[in-house]
Amino acid sequence: MIRWGLGLVLAACVSGVVSAQQAADAVAPEAASETGFATLSPEISAALDAKAAGQPVVASDWMVAAAHPHAVQAGADVLRAGGTAADAMVAVQAVLGLVEPQSSGLGGGAFLVWYDAESGEITTLDGRETAPLAATPRLFQDAAGEPLKFFDAVVGGRSVGVPGTPALMQAAHDRWGTAAWSGLFEAAVGLAEDGFAVSPRLAASVARDAERLGRYPATAAYFLPGGEPLAEGDTLRNPAYAAVLRRMSDEGAEVFYGGTLAQDIVTTVRGVEDNPGVLAAVDLAIYAVKERPAVCAPFREHAVCGMGPPSSGALTVGQILGMLDAHEVGAVDDPQTWRRIGDASRLAFADRGRYMADSDFVPMPTEGLVAPAYLDERAALLAGDDALPKVTPGNPEWDHAMLWADDESLELPSTSHISIVDSYGNALSMTTTIENSFGARLMTNGFLLNNELTDFSFRSHREGVPIANRVEPGKRPRSSMSPTIVLKDGAPVLVIGSPGGSRIIGYVAQAIVAHLDWGMNAQQAVAMGHAVNRFGTYDLEEGSSVAALQPELEALGYKVSVRGLNSGLHAIAVGRDGLTGGADPRREGIALGE
């Protein structure tokens, strides 16, 4: 049986993409204690071994890929028993909130893309956190109107939006679930009560963030028991979380939005002495999951479908791929290939910064941004040989005359992604988050509260011109989360998504190109080295073959930064021969199927 730390190191080396940071995040075999795999099933061990060898997991009936073996096991058990992808998601999310609490949970938000096998339709659900009604555009500004420092805004109550994940779990189950709701929490409740082994990644994250985690008593007591950071392999129990899950399983997700639990959330947010928030009971009471029109863009006879505003994910991934669609992408080792990808990305991010926000609050040229004629116009800009000297937002077709200033918001890598295909042919792609690692660092009832409001622009105006993604009461902050389902002839061929802040967009777009253009299987596509351009430096993944392109890309005119790029892609490819799954070697997840 492979041990945790060894698995990560091997996976990274085999894929050829290990960075210094990833190596540090992983654990040397001799240092690795048994961290819980001994208690996991042989199928989990086999999935870990496949990942370590750079091999995809293959299956014929169903598959689940997510960020932690315990979560994947919970989802697999539901699918094996005949549950749908929506049922399995509830079980996976309940466990992720326990074993990967730094990334997602009941105190956060999520976007979900659903392919329905019976109708052939794509539905997208928005469970994004929402700004309190008392929030103003000055929420993240000091008395002089200047933006706060990022972590001064993040840590405490100010950044906490109304959580959407519990309501989204319920909404998905109400629509597409067939298994009994209460049974979907059993795995998480059992792990929370009996205890689970702290993973290397969780232990490293706690150690890195110990000062901030130590600021508030409930958070400190859980992550720094006795004043010391949790260590890898420690057995961690969370009876408060088990109690919340029991209430949720008995009473439904509404327990979060009224009564004592809602009051606890409000008290926690408002009670922070050094940085209180303005969340109120009414904000929770009026929270609603929103069904949004899916955004689909063309790429190589496929439709790449995902989450529209308030996420910028599907529009920006769609613009990048839509522009590349007009060109041969080229060979993976050709610098011109990366020039086309890099400049398509710069052009898309320019539009993102100008136009994209919560379209319930600001008019947006949503259709114009992925209209074929507009994509062709932008794609024509990729025809040269050198990096574009200047990139500006375009003028998509729009029935409004609006002037927006360019956005200023910082999105750092965190978050988690779940991909599931069930035995009925339904597919689910859900990216789930509490934003920064450990969110606002506030804990109540065994779960962390998000800091999602810092995804808004801290500046509300630039030289008198408003910014689309400014804070407004009741608004949802712009996201980069890109849960995606790629369709061919109306049927899914790839279910994919990733954490990673605004780099999510590049990670997902590149993995789709890798699978569809370069013929990589799901594991190869998620493991390959990253090159991401967000309208600034061209970031190349340290230690990967892509990093070797640095001198050539610099010669083309890019400013290049070679660095760790910590994606967490989970992909399921659906082919004639069945399902092929891949889990990002940079993180602890696996794919599992039968």
The catalytic site residues sit at 415
Which range binds ligand GLY by CB under 6 A, 84-92, 149-157, 474-482, 535-543?
474-482
Nearer to ligand GLY, 35 or 567 (CB): 567
Burial class (CB in 10 A: 0-12, 13-18, 19+), 88: buried
Q: Which stretch binds ligand GLY (CB under 6 A): 226-234, 421-429, 478-486, 506-514?
A: 478-486
Of 236 and 569, the one with the shorter C-beta distance to ligand GLY is 569
Stretch that binds ligand GLY, among 173-181, 381-389, 475-483, 555-563 (CB under 6 A): 475-483
CB of 140 to ligand GLY, least distance (A): 15
Angle at 501 between CA 496 and CA 503, to 5 degrees: 70
Stretch that binds ligand GLY, among 3-11, 81-89, 479-487, 533-541 (CB under 6 A): 479-487
Q: Give residues with Cβ within 8 angstroms of 383, minimum separation 6.
A: none
Using the minimum distance from each CB to ligand GLY, give the nearer residue, 73 or 415: 415
Work out which of 86, 95, 314, 481 binds ligand GLY, going by CB under 6 A: 481
Q: Which stretch in 49-57, 198-206, 473-481, 488-496 sits in contact with ligand GLY by CB under 6 A?
A: 473-481
Show contacts with ligand GLY in window 495-554 (CB under 6 A).
501
Q: Report the C-alpha gap between 344 and 158 in whole angstroms.
A: 36
Q: What is the nearest approach in angstroms of ligand GLY to the Cβ of residue 61?
A: 32
Q: Which is nearer to ligand GLY, 165 or 415 (CB)?
A: 415
- Smallest gap from Cβ 438 to ligand GLY, in A, equals 13
Closest residue (Cβ) to ligand GLY?
479
Which residue type, as a one-letter code, is found at position 436?
A: N
Shortest Å distance, C-beta 435 to ligand GLY: 4
User: Cβ closer to ligand GLY: 268 or 433?
Assistant: 433
Distance in angstroms (rounded) separating the CA atoms of residues 232 and 589: 16
Q: How far apart are CA 375 and CA 397, in angstroms?
A: 11
Nearer of residues 73 and 480 to ligand GLY, judged by Cβ = 480
Does residue 199 touch ligand GLY according to CB under 6 A?
A: no
Structure tokens at 552: 């050539």
Could you tell me what percentage of the chain is helix, strand and coil, using 3-state DSSP and rounding each to the nearest 5?
A: 40, 20, 40
CB 197, min distance to ligand GLY, A: 27
Taking the least distance from each CB to ligand GLY, the nearer of 277 and 501 is 501
Stretch that binds ligand GLY, among 291-299, 477-485, 506-514, 537-545 (CB under 6 A): 477-485
Looking at beta carbons only, is 71 or 481 nearer to ligand GLY? 481
Which of the ranges 49-57, 280-288, 476-484, 579-587 carries the binding residues for ligand GLY, by CB under 6 A? 476-484
Q: How far is the CB of 336 from ligand GLY (least distance, A)?
A: 30
415 part of the interface to ligand GLY, by CB under 6 A: yes
Beta strands at 578-583 and 570-575: parallel, antiparallel or unpaired:
antiparallel
Binding mask 359-398 for ligand GLY (x = CB under 6 A): ----------------------------------------
Q: What is the DSSP letter of 254?
A: G
Residue with tokens 């698995």: 7
435 sits near ligand GLY (criterion: CB under 6 A) = yes
- 262 vs 214: CA distance, rounded Å: 24
Q: Which of 163, 172, 167, 168 is nearest to 283 (CA)?
A: 163
Among 22, 124, 423, 479, binds ligand GLY (CB under 6 A): 479
477 neighbors 310 (Cβ within 8 angstroms): yes
Q: How far is the CB of 356 from ligand GLY (least distance, A)?
A: 11
Q: Of 326 and 481, which has the nearer Cβ to ligand GLY?
A: 481
| Inter-axis angle of helices 239-251 and 85-99, nearest 10 | 160
DSSP 37: G
The least CB distance from residue 419 to ligand GLY, in Å, is 17
Tokens linked to 360: 């319930």
Asked if 126 interacts with ligand GLY (CB under 6 A), we say: no
Select from 396, 345, 405 the least CA-distant residue to 375: 396
Q: Which amino acid is at 513?
A: V
DSSP characters over 487-552: EETTEEEEEEE--SGGGHHHHHHHHHHHHHTS---HHHHHHSPPEEESSSSEEEETTSGGGGGHHH
Cβ atoms 410, 454 nearer than 8 A: yes
- φ/ψ (deg, to 5) at 570: -130, 125
Residue closer to ligand GLY, measured from CB, 317 or 553: 317
Q: Is 480 in the site for ligand GLY (CB under 6 A)?
A: yes
**Interacting positions 443-462 with ligand GLY (CB under 6 A):** 455
- Distance between CA atoms of 172 and 383, rounded to whole angstroms? 44
Applying CB under 6 A, does 472 fall inside the site for ligand GLY? Answer: no
- The Cα-based distances of 314 to 369, 392, 459 in angstroms read 11, 20, 24
Asked whether 432 and 448 are in contact (CB, 8 A), the reply is no
Please tell me whether residue 351 binds ligand GLY under the rule CB under 6 A: no
Query: What residue has token string 């970031």?
Result: 539
Q: Which one among 87, 283, 411, 517 touches ligand GLY, defined by CB under 6 A?
A: 411
Nearest to 360 by CA among 480, 504, 478: 478
How many residues lie near ligand GLY (CB under 6 A)? 9
Q: Specify the DSSP element, H or E, that contains 589.
A: none
Residues at the site binding ligand GLY, with contacts judged by CB under 6 A: 411, 415, 433, 435, 455, 479-481, 501
